[in-house]
Copies of this chain bind each other. A is one copy, B any other.
Amino acid sequence: MTVTFPAPGSHDELEEGQRLTPKFDRDGLVGAIVTDVETGDVLMFAHMNAEALAATIETGVAHFFSRSRGKLWRKGETSGHEMSVAEMRVDCDQDALWLRVRVAGTGAACHTGRKSCFYRAVPTGEVGAPLRLVDDARLFDPAKTYGG
């Protein structure tokens, strides 16, 4: 499936216009921030190509482009953790998206079994200080789900 979006227009159209004209990078991707619509927590960060973005808009279910597998990826297709999009937004220069979602199944977004991919804090003050684990709860067993 070949999907195209209009090319970005003028600076003013890009920032103040009503047309979605994503600024895909040289790999054809835009970044997508995913937050939990209930808690506001950031769950994950992934990338979309034009096909994934179009599939997300058409279905209301989050699709990404898997850089490691080089193909369209309907989030949750293996684990059952589909993401229903409550709201999607685009930023000023249209090179990033923000999806507010409800996660199906256990509610986990991370392939490690945790709710969020952002389970470690980076202390400020000194470069090199150890990361601090802030969420170690596993909502599913990755070995069982992905065939470990």
Contact = CB atoms under 8 A, between A and B. Distances in A.
Contacts of A118: 89-91, 96, 98
A135 to B, nearest CB: 9
A85 B124 contact: yes
Contacts of A90: 118, 120, 122, 131
B92 A122 contact: no
A78 interface: no
22 contacts: A3-B127, A5-B127, A18-B130, A18-B131, A19-B131, A31-B45, A33-B33, A35-B42, A39-B40, A54-B127, A58-B125, A58-B127, A87-B121, A89-B119, A89-B134, A90-B131, A91-B118, A92-B110, A92-B111, A92-B117, A96-B117, A96-B118
Given A89-B121, A90-B122, 16 more contacts: A5-B127, A18-B132, A20-B131, A33-B33, A35-B35, A35-B40, A42-B89, A44-B91, A57-B124, A57-B125, A57-B127, A60-B125, A85-B124, A87-B121, A90-B120, A96-B117
